[in-house]
Amino acid sequence: MSTPSPEPTLVAGLTNTELVEALPELTAVAAARSATLAAELQGWSRAWLRAWNSQDLEAVLALVTDDIVCTDPALCGESVTGKAAFRDYVLMTWRAFPDIHFELAGTPYLPLIGTGMAAPWRARGTFTGDLGGGPSPLGLAPTGRSFDTTGVDLYELRDGRLRTWTSVADLMELARQIGMLPAARSPFFRFGIRAQRLGAPLLRAYLRLRPRAHG
């Protein structure tokens, strides 16, 4: 029996139903290359964690491509693109959270196609630096509060270096831990809910009128 090709040509443009039907083929392809991919990702992951936790900027930048694209909840829906912008993102993170420490918080997941992985993580640190002046729109002042949060990173590598990085985390929970949002069901939290309910009719009225204003 022949070995499946590394990248099935049927993947591009498949509908949801067709993609589900293609799962056996994709799984066979993943199994055929899993050992090689796992070895590559092991070396990169080890260097990635060591570089971040030692705050070695040059080591971090050596592990990403020149056209790196990074998406993080703290960027409020935006992304940083290119090594220069990514450098600013890394420095902003270390400046705001100078004692930040990352670790794997579960088993990484290998993809059915591609050369990346999904990695559950845990991060701990203290918000003692300023988020202002960096690529994030959240130019927040430090609160001195500590945090302990989890999330999942989606990595896609190219030629052994990180090409795309999407971080998924509960930004609201992190904001509560560092003192930017009140605890759920606290008096300040309930006040915010009441204020939102009072303002919602005004927002709905504005959205109804807006198309006419641009018509």
In sequence order, which ranges of the chain are alpha helices (DSSP H)?
A: 16-21, 23-53, 57-62, 83-96, 171-177, 187-213
Q: Are residues 63 and 95 in the same domain?
A: yes
> Is 4 a member of any domain?
no
Q: Are residues 111 and 128 in the same domain?
A: yes
Q: Are residues 66 and 136 in the same domain?
A: yes
Q: Are residues 160 and 208 in the same domain?
A: no
pTM of the model: 0.81
Q: Are residues 84 and 168 in the same domain?
A: yes
pLDDT of residue 11: 60
Distance of alpha carbon 101 from the chain centroid: 16
The H or E element spanning position 103 is strand 101-104
pLDDT digits (tens, 9 = 90+) for 90-143: 999 999 999 999 999 999 998 887 888 999 999 999 999 999 988 999 889 999
Q: Are residues 106 and 204 in the same domain?
A: no
Q: Are residues 169 and 155 in the same domain?
A: yes
> Is 18 a member of any domain?
no
pLDDT digits (tens, 9 = 90+) for 41-70: 999 999 999 999 999 999 999 999 999 999
> Is 110 a member of any domain?
yes
| pLDDT value at 12 more than 70 | no
Measured CA distances, 180 to 99, 104, 124, 135 (Å): 19, 26, 17, 19
Q: If pLDDT is split at 50, 70 and 90, which confidence band does 208 have?
A: confident
> Is 23 a member of any domain?
no
Give the contacts of 70 (CB within 8 A, at least 6 positions apart).
79, 80, 81, 86, 89, 164, 165, 166, 167
Q: What is the CATH number of the domain that holds 48?
A: 3.10.450.50
* Count of the separate structural domains present in the chain: 2
Q: Are residues 160 and 198 in the same domain?
A: no
Mean pLDDT is lowest, of 22-31, 99-108, 160-169, for: 22-31
Residue 146 in 3-state DSSP?
Answer: strand
Burial class (CB in 10 A: 0-12, 13-18, 19+), 28: middle
